[in-house]
Every structure is written in structure tokens, then in C-alpha cells.
Amino acid sequence: MTRQALSRKIINTCLEMTRLGLNQGTAGNVSVRYKEGMLITPTGMPYELMTEESIVYVDNNGVYEKGKLPSSEWLFHLAVYQARLDCNAVIHNHAKHCAAVSILEKDIPAIHYMIAVSGTDHIPCVPYATFGTSQLAQYVKEGIKESKAILLSHHGLIAAETNLDKALWLAHEVEILAEWYMKLLATNQPIPLLSKANMVAVLEKFKSYGLRIEEK
Ligand SMILES: C[C@H](O)[C@@H](O)[C@@H](O)C(=O)COP(=O)(O)O
Ligand SMILES: [Zn+2]
């Protein structure tokens, strides 16, 4: 895909993220792996105002185009691409239920077999660090090796996948799981979890299940 087409796709993903209720205001950011770096949304710009020209190229050394300012979270986007060679798209948001679970500093455990969309048996919550810092990027780098979706304590969600459509799908699935988890926690009842063996069986089945969401 050309840079122009990828940039349009990034903006459409941002708009769809808002339409799905996964984000508010200028929170969140989206990137795709591109050449020797990535294309990423600019910092602090409402998604509706973005044009293809607003999208910023940042190389693997963190050097970006003159006259443009990339997302304040470019460090953790690069960290994901370094940690996961299987992932080409990264979405970050402040989805309501993901953020709520992250404020409790909790992982989302195996409450439902769809947890396996993360590629493992839980959605980890990585420690808190100030947004935009190398400390946060370091926590993200460790967490994302374990799972394609992670919660950032007192902040939100990161979802990484092979393409933007899949990353958006993953972010949506995790928000639903987070909503169920918050509702379960509110019952004050013990929460039964699927066993390791249950989750291993689902993870195995997912390897051949029709989860292929190709680029539109
Ligand atoms: C303060 C920022 O909103 C921060 O939360 C960041 O993580 C975010 O979600 C959006 O920042 P950018 O507009 O710089 O991408
Ligand atoms: Zn954020």
C-alpha cells in the first residue's frame, strides 16, 4: 500500500474507533509499520481534522519529519514493533471499561474463552508510568511480548496485530471483555475462571479458526 493509502487507513481506523465508542476526544493514537519505521497519528489533533498529510513518519531511531509532531506515545509504538515482529499495526485508546480495569491495576483473567484473542490466557496490566516516557515504553515492551493486548495502569489499552483491521477488532473485543469483568467485579461474588487446560485448548483451536480479517 502507498503511504497515502496507509495514512487514509490510519485516519479511518481512528474515526471507526470513536464510532465504536472506544475513545474520547483526542485521546488515543494509531500507527502502522512502514519502511524503516512507522506512520503514526500526530499529537493532540482531533481525528476529524486529520488529513493524510497530518500523519507522521518516524524512523526506527525516533527521527521524525520536520514541521510535524508525532503522537506523544511514539516511543511505545516503536517499542511494540521492536518486541513483536509479527505485528504491523498498533492501536492505543482510553476505552471506558479497559481504563476502568486499568485503574484497579488488574489483569483481565480467563473469565471467557475469548481472552484467547490476545494470544494468551489473560490480558496483562503493566505498571503505571507517565505518558510519553521511556519508562512507559519499557513496560509496554515487556508486556506486549506476553500478549497482543495489554492494559496500561491508570491509562488505557494497547492492541497490536498484523494489520489495522485486526488491531481494531482486537481492541473492540478486549473492551467487551473488560466490560464483562467490571460487571462481574461489581457483583462481589467469587468469579469462576477457565482453567489453564481450557485456555490451552482454545488457543490451539484459534490457530486454525477463521479469524482472518484482511485489509479492506
Ligand atoms: C495526554 C495524552 O492524551 C496521552 O494520554 C496519550 O497517551 C494519548 O492517548 C494521546 O496522545 P497523543 O495525542 O499525543 O497521541
Ligand atoms: Zn493515552
**pLDDT tens digits for range 57-109:** 999 999 999 999 999 999 999 999 999 999 999 999 999 999 999 999 999 99
For the cut 90, the answer to whether the pLDDT of residue 27 exceeds it is: yes
Residue 184's pLDDT band (boundaries 50, 70, 90)?
very high
Atom 4 of ligand 1 has which residue's CA nearest to it? 131
Confidence (pLDDT) at 212: 59
Residue 101 is placed in which grid cell? 480495569
**pLDDT tens digits for range 120-151:** 999 999 999 999 999 999 999 999 999 999 99
Name the strand (E) or helix (H) holding 78. helix 74-83
Instruction: Tell me if 94 is assigned to a ligand binding site.
Output: yes
Q: Where are the strands (E) in the chain, listed by range?
A: 29-34, 37-40, 56-59, 89-93, 125-126, 149-152, 156-161
Q: Are 41 and 77 in contact (CB under 8 A)?
A: no
Q: For residues 147 and 137, what is the distance between their CA atoms, to the nearest angstrom?
A: 15
By CB atoms closer than 10 A (0-12, 13-18, 19+), residue 119 is: middle
**pLDDT tens digits for range 34-59:** 999 999 999 999 999 999 999 999 99
Closest CA to 128 of 115, 139, 116, 117: 139
Q: Compute the radius of gyration of the chain from its Cα atoms.
A: 17
What is the DSSP secondary structure assignment for residue 53, as one 8-state letter? G
Q: Is the CB of 93 under 6 A from ligand 1?
A: no
CATH tag for 3-208 (out of 1.10.3210.10, 3.30.565.10, 3.40.225.10, 1.10.3720.10): 3.40.225.10
Residue 210's pLDDT band (boundaries 50, 70, 90)?
confident
Instruction: Tell me if 143 is assigned to a ligand binding site.
Output: no
For residue 62, give the 3-state DSSP assignment.
coil
Chain position carrying cell 484482511: 214
CB atoms within 10 A of CB 32: 24
What is the bridge-based pairing of β-strands 149-152 and 37-40? unpaired
For residue 79, give the 3-state DSSP assignment.
helix
Confidence (pLDDT) at 161: 98
- Mutate which of 26, 140, 158 for ligand 1? The one with the most ligand atoms within 8 Å of its CB, which is 26
Q: How far is CA 190 from the centre of its chain?
A: 29
Strand partners, 93: 157
Q: Is the CB of 22 under 6 A from ligand 1?
A: no
ipTM score: 0.98
What is the pTM for the complete model shown? 0.96
Cite the active site residues: 73
